[in-house]
């Protein structure tokens, strides 16, 4: 079969999608991984029909029209929302209406869910399409297994203990969070986004004070600020001057089982779930009361309301005078026994069940390479034409990743993983 896998944010999605695509190729499928331009070729019948993995199916006119074209091209449409609604305070009123509708579901064959949390909400909100929702988990959690995470994590000093702070700082955002708010039709959603922005401004100020206090109170600790993909590293460096015990991490982040990462501090971060699964000390910093302090990651974390409370907790952890406060069974149930089950293989099993002869017609790779050669020329002339969510691949980058995943999964040696263009990967099993 032809399988087309979409990436929106490279840093967040590429590695898990590459692993998913590689396992799918081992089953004899031809896999293409790229951005929206790849799927535009499918919808315009420049590429043959196949199985599509979309990032989401929002009820926007352009997405509805796109889904219609997929179906006209006799494609099988599947989707997994890359946020899953797990870090929202109101799934029913503020997440689901932006990500699903009965209309978009009518053009979609399967929606893969992270676990019982989003699955149960979805089947209640869209009972007509209950059978289209399937619990598989998200492939990103397959990467939590030590065989993956240890290969991709940078070697850290054995002496330095590390405090991780997960960021979404309004002062460092690349594009204003309310830039496209006028295009939204729902007043309720607009009001929600404005309220959330006001909250983020207040919490950003508190976080800056927290970082400053931690840096002064624990000079022997390394404070890693994990920058969100929507944030600018340069803006962060302007906000916080150079400091020897503060480090900015803006690439793909991995948590290992190392005891170096002693605490993970956040406020509604989806990555907090990964830290919880890895059995880290996870703290939700809530310096003031707000409805936005009530996301699933916040509920599962230890709530701390002041800087002093975090400092005292850190001292106890360093002296090994406090026990873990993690209910890992509850967390794994909510996100489909993440770290235990293979989300990649579950998704592929459903794809294989949908196999049809019409999905396996070979594409003209010469034309595809030619189109992408032109894309590469455009990129070299003007690099800025590409949005910062998905900077182009480089041969060196892809080769380094391939070397690492081959160490993790020797079966991938039977695959050809080719860079066809600045944003297009092709994977096929060797004949």
Between the alpha carbon of residue 320 and those of residues 30, 160, 305, the distances in Å are: 51, 16, 22
Give 254's pLDDT tier (boundaries 50, 70, 90).
confident
CA dist 23 and 93 (Å) reads 36
343 touches 141 (CB < 8 A):
yes
pLDDT at position 373, please?
Answer: 78
Same domain, 235 and 308: yes
Tokens of 159: 């002496």
Tokens of 206: 């508190």
pLDDT at position 383, please?
Answer: 53
Same domain, 180 and 263: yes
The residue out of 334, 359, 374 marking a domain boundary is 334
Full domain range(s) for residue 52 = 2-142+339-429
Helix (H) or strand (E) holding 206: helix 187-217
Same domain, 10 and 65: yes
The reply to whether 191 falls in a domain is: yes
CA dist 29 and 428 (Å) reads 7
3-state secondary structure of 264: strand
pLDDT at position 280, please?
Answer: 85
Phi/psi of residue 72, nearest 5 degrees: -65, -30
Same domain, 276 and 350: no
How wide is the angle at C-alpha 389 spanned by C-alphas 404 and 426, nearest 5°?
A: 45
pLDDT at position 339, please?
Answer: 57
The separation between the first and the last C-alpha atoms of the chain, rounded to the nearest angstrom, is 15
pTM: 0.88
Short-list 141, 136, 145, CA closest to 338: 141
In terms of average pLDDT, the best of 2-6, 83-87, 228-232, 353-357 is 2-6
CB neighbour list of residue 1: distance below 8 Å, 6 or more residues apart: 29, 30, 50, 51, 351, 355, 356, 359, 360
Q: Which residue is associated with the tokens 């809530």?
A: 286
Same domain, 303 and 383: no
338 sits in the region (left: phi over 0; alpha: psi -120 to 50; else beta) called beta
The reply to whether 233 falls in a domain is: yes
Phi/psi of residue 221, nearest 5 degrees: -95, 150
Higher-confidence residue of 201 and 158: namely 201
CA dist 50 and 222 (Å) reads 48
The reply to whether 147 falls in a domain is: no
C-alpha torsion sign, points 113, 118, 121, 126: negative
pLDDT at position 194, please?
Answer: 82
Phi/psi of residue 286, nearest 5 degrees: -130, 80
Higher-confidence residue of 224 and 378: namely 224
Same domain, 22 and 121: yes
Count of domains for the chain: 2
The reply to whether 321 falls in a domain is: yes
Same domain, 134 and 160: no
Same domain, 69 and 125: yes
The residue out of 310, 334, 358 marking a domain boundary is 334
CATH code at position 299 = 3.40.50.2000
Burial class (CB in 10 A: 0-12, 13-18, 19+), 319: exposed
Give 89's pLDDT tier (boundaries 50, 70, 90).
confident
CA dist 109 and 133 (Å) reads 9
Same domain, 236 and 351: no
């Amino acid at each position: 079969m032809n399988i087309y896998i979409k990436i929106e944010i490279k840093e967040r999605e590429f590695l898990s999608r590459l692993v998913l695509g590689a396992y799918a190729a081992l089953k004899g499928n031809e896999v293409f991984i790229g951005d929206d331009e790849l799927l535009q070729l499918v919808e315009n019948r420049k590429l043959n029909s196949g199985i599509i993995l979309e990032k989401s199916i929002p009820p926007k006119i352009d997405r509805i029209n796109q889904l219609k074209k997929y179906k006209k091209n006799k494609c099988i449409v599947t989707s997994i929302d890359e946020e899953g609604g797990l870090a929202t305070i109101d799934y029913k009123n503020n997440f689901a209406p932006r990500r699903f509708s009965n209309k978009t579901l009518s053009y979609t064959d399967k929606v893969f869910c992270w676990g019982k949390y989003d699955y149960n909400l979805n089947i209640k909100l869209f009972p007509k399409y209950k059978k289209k929702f399937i619990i598989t988990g998200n492939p990103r959690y397959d990467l939590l297994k030590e065989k993956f995470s240890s290969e991709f994590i940078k070697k850290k000093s054995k002496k330095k203990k590390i405090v991780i702070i997960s960021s979404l700082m309004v002062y460092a955002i690349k594009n204003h969070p309310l830039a496209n708010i006028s295009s939204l039709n729902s007043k309720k959603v607009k009001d929600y986004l404005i309220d959330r922005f006001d909250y983020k401004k207040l919490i950003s100020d508190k976080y800056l004070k927290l970082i400053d206090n931690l840096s002064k109170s624990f000079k022997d600790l390394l404070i890693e600020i994990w920058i969100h993909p929507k944030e600018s590293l340069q803006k962060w460096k302007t906000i916080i001057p150079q400091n020897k015990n503060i480090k900015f991490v803006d690439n793909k982040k991995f948590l290992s089982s190392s005891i170096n990462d002693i605490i993970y501090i956040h406020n509604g971060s989806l990555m907090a779930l990964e830290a919880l699964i890895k059995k880290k000390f996870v703290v939700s910093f809530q310096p003031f009361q707000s409805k936005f302090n009530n996301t699933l990651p916040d509920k599962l974390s230890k709530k701390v309301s002041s800087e002093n409370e975090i400092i005292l907790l850190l001292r106890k952890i360093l002296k090994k005078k406090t026990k873990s406060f993690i209910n890992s069974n509850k967390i794994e149930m909510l996100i489909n026994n993440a770290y235990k089950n293979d989300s990649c293989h579950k998704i592929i099993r459903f794809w294989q069940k949908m196999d049809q002869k019409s999905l396996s017609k070979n594409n003209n790779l010469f034309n595809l390479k030619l189109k992408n050669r032109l894309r590469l020329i455009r990129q070299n002339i003007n690099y800025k034409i590409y949005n910062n969510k998905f900077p182009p691949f480089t041969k060196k980058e892809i080769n380094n990743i391939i070397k690492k995943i081959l160490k993790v999964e020797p079966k991938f040696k039977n695959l050809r993983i080719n860079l066809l263009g600045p944003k297009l990967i092709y994977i096929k099993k060797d004949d």
